[in-house]
Structure 1
Amino acid sequence: MAEHDEELLKIGEMAELESETKSDILSTAQRARIERNRLKARALRDARLVQRPNTDGGSRPAPAPDTGGGFLPDDTPAPAPRAVAPPAPIVDPAERPHCLDCERPFAQSYLFDAFGHPVCDECRDDDGAHALVTRTEARAAFLLKDCDLDLRPPPLRCVRRRNPHGSRLGDMRLYLRAQVEDRARLVWGSERALEDERERREEARARSRHNTTARRLRALRMDVRSSLFDRTRAHHTHEFGPEQYDEDADQYSRVCKDCGHIETYEKM
């Protein structure tokens, strides 16, 4: 049964490709339909490879992994998860969702199957509201936490892609930009509140950088002054005059009446 379904999907995909090669540019709906058919064929193939029925009605055990050295590992690997086929098109016209953009009912779309977002393939905008954003971008650009993405109801759905930075890293989780923007407005209350929080955090980072630079320059000036101090007057007892406060440098200073030595210090 699975082989028959896969053959039908392959035949349908080949027919679509042959008809679509007549034009140089494929529409968004055609690309989405090809992607759905490819995913269905892969899911059916993976489901058949996970557990193949034996001729006597039993199941054939999965082969042991080949380590290349002739020895089997101590830990038995977990069985591969069973592939889940994409949802089938909605046959009943009364139950079909309506597109948020064109308001027309549709039987199936990539955004609805992957993210539960009711937008048809014809209205899909991969460069705008329907672009995919990474988990890191969702946290940095929209000021969201992991709990806002995973725990706040309803949890945002995502698709997984192989990490391009290396196979040892975990898969990337990609979210729909429109849903991330809606979640950010829900968390912060409004777009204006989100923008104000962005500005506040940017000002805090700028102040932190400025204070760090000021402290380094202050320490450098003190080191230079100490190196220029006359060693011959090391045993001299200073008699300082009244202290003076420098608001720009946020420090106090006083001058010795005899040798002119300037002592700078801070107060807690």
Structure 2
Amino acid sequence: MTEKEDVKDTTTHAPPTIVEQRAEIERLKQLAGVEEVEVNGPAEGDPNAKRQRTSKTVVTEEYIQFDFSKVKDTKGGFLPEDDGPQREKPAERVLREQEERLRRLRNAPVQLDPEQVKTCFECSSAELDAKYLEVFRCRVCHVCREKYPEKYSLLTKSECKQDYLLTEPELRDDTVMPHLLKANPHQQGWSNMMLYLRYQVEEFAKNKWGSLEALDEEFERREAKKKEQNEKKFAKQLLELRKRTRTSNYSKMSIRQKNKHVHAYTESFEKKDEPGVIVQRCSCGLEVEQLEI
């Protein structure tokens, strides 16, 4: 051996810098295929343990990946949709059940027996409206539904209450008044809109009031009563307003009316200094002189 080989390397190496540590972490991350690498400090008993601490470095990507097919445009930014379980609202559940019933009716097998085929009331056509057949139990085709709107048009619950004087329990009873449910057009999540078939509403109103003429009379009677109540309410509010705005004048006039004095000339005599002059005196002390001719 040579002398150079026998000499041991006694030089001290400087600790790695932060840049070298990060480069080593990146190299280990690529070899292991992980995103997080834990770097531990020196072992116990190391004299350099006081100036070196255990550190943990988390390596993350510099950008976040999004699935743009699941991103929703809120008109104020793009937000990812929540894939978690969402609670179904009662209105949405009722609509879903109705759509499922209609879908089963559309997918039902075609009846080939001519005697058992259901036909339209108006034109005897076999191409019936599945929605009207399922919801209203009404056999009508699409052509006749558009041809006779005075019979097959739909009415809202408010129109049934105002025009036909039907009550809320009657309109909610599906066995008495079948109705079609639709999502509320004003606000999502509100109660569903209830639609009724016109000729069924008219038939129910006839049975309830006797005839359409009796219904018109009841409608006019209620309108007259409502008008009378509104007039009384308006007169009462007007009187209260006058009392509030003219309280002082109102009280003074009432006091003057109560204390108003009417002169009564019960005493009369002739004036001493002036003969022919008659003096009439009231109980309040007022004297009136009259010349006797």
- Give the TM-score, by structure 1 length: 0.52
Counterpart check, 1:151 vs 2:173: yes
Query: Could you say what secondary structure the match of 2:150 adopts?
Result: coil
SS state at 2:155 partner: strand
Kindly state the Cα deviation for residue 138 of structure 1 after the two structures are TM-superposed. Answer: 1.6
Quote the residue 2:150 is aligned against. 128
Q: Any idea what SS the aligned residue of 2:171 has?
A: helix
CA 1:119–1:76: 2 relative to 1, 3 Å: closer
1:40 matched residue in structure 2? none
**Is the partner of 2:143 in helix, strand or coil?**
coil
For 2:30, the equivalent position in structure 1 comes to: none
Q: Does 1:109 align with 2:129?
A: yes
Structure 1 match to 2:182: 161
2:162 counterpart residue number: 140
The structure having more radius of gyration, on CA atoms, is 2
Deviation at 1:211, TM superposition (A): 0.6
Q: 2:203 aligns with which of 168, 178, 182?
A: 182
**225 and 183 in structure 1: CA distance in 2 versus 1, 3 angstrom threshold:** same
Cα distance change of structure 1 residues 97 and 228 upon mapping to structure 2, 3 Å threshold:
same
Task: Give the letter aligned to residue 150 of structure 2.
Answer: G
1:115, 1:157 within 8 Å by CA — same for their partners in 2?
yes
- Name 1:172's counterpart in structure 2: 193
> CA separation of 1:91/1:114 partners in 2, compared to 1, >3 Å: closer, same or farther?
farther
Instruction: Decide whether aligned partners of structure 1 residues 233 and 115 sit closer, same or farther in structure 2, where only a CA change above 3 A counts.
Output: closer
**What amino acid maps onto 1:157 in structure 2?**
P
Cα distance in structure 1, aligned partners of 2:201 and 2:165: 10
Equivalent residue, structure 2, for 1:208: 229
Distance 1:77 1:148, change over 3 A: closer
CA contact (8 A) 1:156 1:179 kept: yes
CA RMSD of superposed structures (Å): 3.7
Tell me: CA distance 1:177–1:230, structure 2 relative to 1, closer, same or farther (3 Å). closer
* Alpha-carbon distance, 1:121 to partner: 2.3
Q: Deviations over 1:109-165 (max 9, x none)?
A: 34323321122222113743211112222222211113323438x432222211111
Cα offset, 1:195, TM superposition? 0.8
**TM-score computed with the length of structure 2 as normaliser:** 0.48
Structure with greater strand share of residues: 2
Output the amino acid matched with 1:206.
K
Q: Does the 8 Å CA contact 1:101/1:119 hold for their aligned counterparts?
A: yes
Q: Which has the higher contact order (CA 8 A, sep 6+)?
A: 1
**Separation (CA, whole Å) in 1 of partners of 2:215 and 2:152:** 20
The C-alpha deviation readout for 1:59-88, integer Å capped at 9, x for no partner, is xxxxx9617xxxxx9x9999x777333423
Letter in 1 for 2:169: C
- The letter for the 2-side match of 1:164 is P
Question: Match for 2:84 among 51, 59, 66?
Answer: 66
With 181-190 and 122-131 compared, the bigger mean Cα shift is at 122-131
Question: Once the 2 structures are TM-superposed, how far is the Cα of residue 177 of structure 1 from its aligned partner?
Answer: 1.5
The answer to whether the 8 A contact 2:152-2:198 is kept is yes
Identity of aligned residues (%): 26
Match of 2:240 in 1: 219
Q: Distance in 2 between matches of 1:214 and 1:232?
A: 21
Question: 2:126, 2:168 → 1: CA distance?
Answer: 33
CA–CA distance in structure 1, aligned partners of residues 191 and 257 of structure 2: 66
Aligned pairs, how many?
170
